[in-house]
Structure 1
Amino acid sequence: MTDGVRNTYLRAAESAVRLLATEPVARRWRTGSVLPGMSVGGLAGHLARSVLQVEWFLDGATGAAAEPVSAVRYYARLVDTERPDSALNVGVRSRSEETAAAGPAAVAEQARAAWERLARRLGAESADRRVAVLHRPGEEMLLDEYLRTRCVELAVHLDDLALSVGEPSQVPEGAVAVAVDLLVAAARTRHGDRAVLHALARRERDAGSALRVL
């Protein structure tokens, strides 16, 4: 599994690096994206962070004291994901715009350089390697579990950014498969299997939008 998820992540990150460096992204940097309240630049910054943050988390100090958080729990516990004005989404936009402030060329170059370093580094990390979840002080994840969450973010936001700038979506199928598996598992944890069954097979009984995780 270690080689599989790491390779899947690197392929998806490479697709993000390529899209970030395109002329349509740079040209539309300050225009609105397909996500309400988020500019193309902000969305690009958010996408880039799924490459940059892996390095940041790897370099963070870990104590190995607490039980590591699983990728399923990472998403299942999120709240107010659908409200643009929620604290969660306001924070995401703020961090994304902070990254985007460097400009399209710098963001693209930062992501490319980080991806190249990660392509060399990930293979040398052990299967039990932990990373610090920097935005949740005291929490840690196994590296491969964290990379599963980055596959979700890359799959979702590669598609968002491509649509925002009129480019074809080129999300690797492996990343899509990881994202679907993880998000369905998070939906089952959050809502229960019966609700997810209704969402999949009896939409008229899906009162709580059980498949909506993000």
Structure 2
Amino acid sequence: MTTPARDAYARGADVAVGLVTSEQVATAWDEPSVLDGMSVGELAAHLARSVLQVEWYLDGPLDDQASPVTAEGYYAGLSGTSDLASSLNTGVRARSAETAAQGVAALVAQLTAARERLRHRIEQEPTDRRMTVRHQGHTLLLDDYLRTRCVELAVHTEDLALSLGSDVRTPAPTLAVAVEVLVGAARRRHGDDEVLHALARRERDGTDALRVL
């Protein structure tokens, strides 16, 4: 079954996989990226996890007692996003370094195989399919989890492209989902008044309401 979330994810994943598996990444693997504290290889591994984790969590244990959170709720509940030393960001860097440690050839092989399996698998999953994100402890519907991955694909495809001097960009449907999720998270976190100020009256935006990540 194809849904708008699944289609947007597929488009973004294909572009991300093409970038991660490019010769540019292999050549610049140990060079610093545009993100503090992450090499190009670690950033590529972090981007790759937006494909790898979908399969891992589909195959992983489900907390069937948990009420699913939405993609917007997933991001609204994050804390420490702008603090490099926060547990959130240190965890991201640690997981990225762990994935990158296998080296570029192994990552490329793992990522390419996972994307091909997911290409068919995702379309076969029912609309009520749920999955539990182990390191966050959240349970989401598959489509909502894919919407969170659209955010990660959009943000980090750009990060990696800028690190490489590449003109690769996220597809429009993926980008639209990412913006929708992040604005929705901002509304949940700060309320519509503050989001309105951030969009239309910046002089009254005292909370930096549109900054989610």
Query: Shorter-chain TM-score category?
Result: over 0.9
Counterpart secondary structure, 1:126: coil
Mapped to 2, the partners of 1:106 and 1:170 lie a distance apart of: 25
Give the drift of 1:63: 4.1
What's the counterpart of residue 45 of structure 2?
Answer: 45
Q: Does the 8 Å contact 1:152/1:178 carry over to 2?
A: yes
Counterpart secondary structure, 2:131: strand
Q: Does the 8 Å contact 2:19/2:168 carry over to 1?
A: no
Mapped to 1, the partners of 2:190 and 2:184 lie a distance apart of: 10
Deviation per CA, 1:40-61: give whole Å up to 9, x if none.
Answer: 1110010000000000010012
TM-score (norm 2): 0.96
Mapped to 2, the partners of 1:41 and 1:201 lie a distance apart of: 39
Q: Which structure 1 segments of 5+ residues have no match?
A: none
Give the drift of 1:174: 0.4
Q: Which runs of 4+ in 1 moved over 3 A?
A: none
Count residues in correspondence.
213
Any residues of structure 2 matched to 1:66-105 within 5 Å, and which? 66-105=66-105
Give the drift of 1:152: 0.4
Counterpart secondary structure, 1:132: strand
Counterpart secondary structure, 2:140: strand
What's the counterpart of residue 151 of structure 2?
Answer: 152
What's the counterpart of residue 112 of structure 1?
Answer: 112
Is 1:188 matched up with 2:187? yes
Worse overlay, 201-210 or 182-191: 201-210
Any residues of structure 2 matched to 1:172-211 within 5 Å, and which? 172-211=171-210
Q: Does the 8 Å contact 1:41/1:100 carry over to 2?
A: yes
Q: Percent identity?
A: 59
Counterpart secondary structure, 1:12: helix
RMSD: 1.2
What's the counterpart of residue 32 of structure 2?
Answer: 32
Mapped to 2, the partners of 1:169 and 1:5 lie a distance apart of: 21
Counterpart secondary structure, 2:175: helix
Counterpart secondary structure, 2:3: helix
Give the drift of 1:72: 0.9
Mapped to 2, the partners of 1:64 and 1:87 lie a distance apart of: 26
Counterpart of 1:195 in structure 2: which amino acid?
E
Mapped to 2, the partners of 1:2 and 1:64 lie a distance apart of: 24
Deviation per CA, 1:84-107: give whole Å up to 9, x if none.
Answer: 111110100000010011111221
Give the drift of 1:108: 1.7
Any residues of structure 2 matched to 1:118-129 within 5 Å, and which? 118-129=118-129
Counterpart of 1:115 in structure 2: which amino acid?
R
TM-score (norm 1): 0.96
Give the drift of 1:200: 0.5
Mapped to 1, the partners of 2:59 and 2:2 lie a distance apart of: 19
Mapped to 1, the partners of 2:108 and 2:10 lie a distance apart of: 16
Counterpart of 1:90 in structure 2: which amino acid?
T
Q: Does the 8 Å contact 2:83/2:89 carry over to 1?
A: yes
